[in-house]
């Protein structure tokens, strides 16, 4: 796998040199304004070079991870598992039962029903009590949002470490055994697990599975090498209690409006992103442990996918704005690498990349409409598609996933441009005009 990784780095570097020169030649045909062409060339070259760096770091991190032995479970501290639930009557029992099967000596499960309108609370209550190595508690409260339910669970918890999960996800039985040893390092404030799609039932869900694979295997693994994982996903994230207590007291924390004071904020629609950034901003490190898996369901229809990505993108824009306005002064003194990452990468990922994707495919449409030969453009697309498949092959091996996802990696850029970026446009417009939005 290391050899294949090296081939990918070399191939991406070659593309970063060759593609700009061929693109400059194409500008001579005059169907694309020179300034726009220059922007596309600069962006493409930058992203290819960044890909070289990301893949190099992710390879180093993978080697470091597989050489790390699993610690003795008898040495592990008490863990509280926080399970916020809203209208999860059909899934809450199986979700808690999967947590009861964890290979861990002593922990507790706290289910918070956030004012559900179905039988979530009654179904969860059937599991209350002691279960060998674990005890289950169930709490009911008025609806206040996921962040509010998590804060209530935090208030009731007793663990030195806290695992946050989603009520519709299933956590692998060795997850805690793999994640907890990272906290032997006192600078580690949080550990992210790997979220993988379990309902791969059609082309749309397989595209999402491939998307998760590329994101986890690439950027998240690379950031873990630096201790700068910026998003610990909602379905599986383990936190140090002392860190969460400190986050609850930071000046930018916006919890407590409904009495549920705690580290989880209701100021944005991406409380997991905001919490992760807060842990980094106050000086902690955040690590990714892909062997600890959570199996989640993804949208099976286009409308549901667009709604999900709309929420994620609006939340990301909100958190980035909060970072620039409120978190950055702290990050600049306690975690300068985080500040460099947020200023150097996130504006590109959040605002520039979606726009450039639209411009590129518009460029392809203009070229086709004006009778320009698409042979050169097709060669560019094929070269990038090959790079995606090569990277996906490495990530499948590193994450023990399914090679049947490789055909979907071929078309990943088109999938993201047509579907995912459509949600980005709506999210950006609504965020600019300040449209209201609430959690269901």
Sorted by where each starts, the structural domains of the chain and their CATH numbers stand as: 1-67+351-376 (no CATH), 73-341 (3.90.550.10)
Spatial distance between the Cα atoms of 83 and 166, rounded to a whole number of angstroms: 6
Of 7-16, 19-28, 415-424, minimum mean pLDDT range: 19-28
Query: Residue 339 class from Cβ within 10 Å (0-12 exposed, 13-18 middle, 19+ buried)?
Result: buried
pLDDT value at residue 28: 60
Strand partners, 107: 79, 134
Whole-structure pTM value: 0.91
Determine contact, residues 148/258, Cβ cutoff 8 Å: yes
Query: Residue 30 class from Cβ within 10 Å (0-12 exposed, 13-18 middle, 19+ buried)?
Result: exposed
Residue predicted with more confidence, 35 or 420: 420
pLDDT for 108-128, tens place per residue? 999 999 999 999 999 999 999
Sheet containing strand 134-141, edge to edge, reads 129-131, 134-141, 107-114, 79-85, 161-164, 237-240, 188-197, 285-296, 170-171
pLDDT value at residue 73: 53
Q: Give, rounded to a whole angstrom, the gap between the first and last alpha carbons of the chain.
A: 43
pLDDT value at residue 360: 79
Chain-wide mean pLDDT for the chain?
Answer: 89
pLDDT value at residue 276: 97
Write the CB contacts of 369 (distance below 8 Å, at least 6 apart in sequence). none
- The single-letter DSSP state of residue 300 is -
pLDDT value at residue 156: 95
Q: Where are the beta strands (DSSP E) in 74-183?
A: 79-85, 107-114, 129-131, 134-141, 161-164, 170-171
The answer to whether residue 139 scores a pLDDT higher than 70 is yes
- The single-letter DSSP state of residue 348 is I
pLDDT value at residue 8: 87
Among 175, 222, 177, smallest CA distance to 194 is for 175
pLDDT range class, residue 13, cuts 50, 70, 90:
confident
Determine contact, residues 162/280, Cβ cutoff 8 Å: no
Among 111, 127, 55, 114, smallest CA distance to 87 is for 114
Phi-psi region of 103 (alpha: psi -120 to 50; beta: other; left: phi over 0): beta
Per-position DSSP letters for 49-99, written without gaps between them: HHHHHHHHHHHHHHHHHHTSPPPPGGGPPPEEEEEEESS-TTTHHHHHHHH
Determine contact, residues 294/176, Cβ cutoff 8 Å: no
Determine contact, residues 247/275, Cβ cutoff 8 Å: yes
pLDDT value at residue 435: 82
The answer to whether residue 325 scores a pLDDT higher than 70 is yes
The answer to whether residue 131 scores a pLDDT higher than 90 is yes
How many residues are given for the chain? Answer: 440
pLDDT range class, residue 81, cuts 50, 70, 90:
very high
């Amino acid at each position: 796998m290391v050899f294949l990784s090296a081939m990918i780095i070399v191939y991406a570097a070659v593309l970063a040199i060759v593609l700009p020169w061929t693109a400059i030649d194409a500008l001579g045909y005059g169907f694309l304004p020179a300034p726009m062409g220059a922007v596309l060339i600069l962006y493409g070259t930058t992203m290819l070079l960044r890909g070289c760096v990301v893949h190099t770091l992710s390879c180093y991190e993978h080697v470091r991870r597989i050489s790390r032995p699993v610690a003795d479970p008898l040495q592990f501290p008490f863990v509280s598992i926080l399970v916020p639930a809203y209208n999860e009557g059909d899934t809450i029992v199986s979700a808690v039962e999967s947590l009861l099967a964890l290979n861990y000596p002593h922990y507790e499960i706290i289910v918070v029903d956030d004012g559900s309108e179905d039988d979530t609370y009654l179904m969860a209550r059937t599991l209350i009590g002691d279960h060998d190595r674990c005890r289950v508690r169930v709490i009911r409260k008025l609806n206040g949002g996921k962040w509010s339910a998590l804060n209530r669970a935090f208030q009731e918890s007793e663990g030195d470490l806290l695992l946050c999960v989603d009520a519709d996800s299933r956590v692998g039985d060795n997850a805690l055994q793999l994640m907890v040893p990272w906290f032997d390092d006192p600078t580690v404030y949080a550990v992210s697990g790997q979220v993988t799609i379990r309902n791969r039932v059609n082309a749309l869900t397989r595209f999402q599975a491939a998307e998760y694979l590329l994101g986890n295997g690439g950027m998240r693994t690379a950031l873990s090498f630096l201790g700068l994982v910026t998003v610990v996903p909602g379905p599986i994230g383990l936190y140090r209690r002392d860190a969460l207590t400190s986050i609850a007291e930071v000046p930018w924390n916006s919890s407590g409006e409904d009495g549920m004071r705690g580290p989880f904020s209701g100021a944005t629609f991406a409380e997991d992103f905001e919490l992760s950034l807060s842990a980094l901003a106050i000086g902690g490190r955040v690590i990714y442990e892909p062997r600890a898996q959570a199996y989640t369901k993804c949208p099976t229809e286009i409308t549901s996918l667009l709604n999900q990505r709309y929420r994620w993108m609006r939340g990301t824009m909100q958190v980035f704005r909060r970072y620039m306005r409120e978190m950055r002064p702290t990050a600049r003194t306690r975690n300068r690498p985080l500040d460099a990452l947020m200023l150097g990468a996130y504006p590109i990922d959040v605002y520039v990349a979606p726009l450039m994707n639209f411009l590129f495919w518009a460029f392809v449409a203009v070229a086709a409409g004006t009778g320009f030969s698409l042979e050169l453009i097709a060669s560019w697309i094929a070269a990038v598609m090959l790079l995606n498949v090569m990277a996906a092959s490495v990530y499948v091996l590193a994450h023990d996933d399914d090679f049947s996802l490789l055909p979907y990696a071929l078309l990943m850029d088109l999938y993201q441009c047509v579907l995912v970026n459509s949600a980005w446009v709506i999210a950006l417009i609504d965020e600019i005009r300040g449209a209201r939005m609430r959690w269901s």
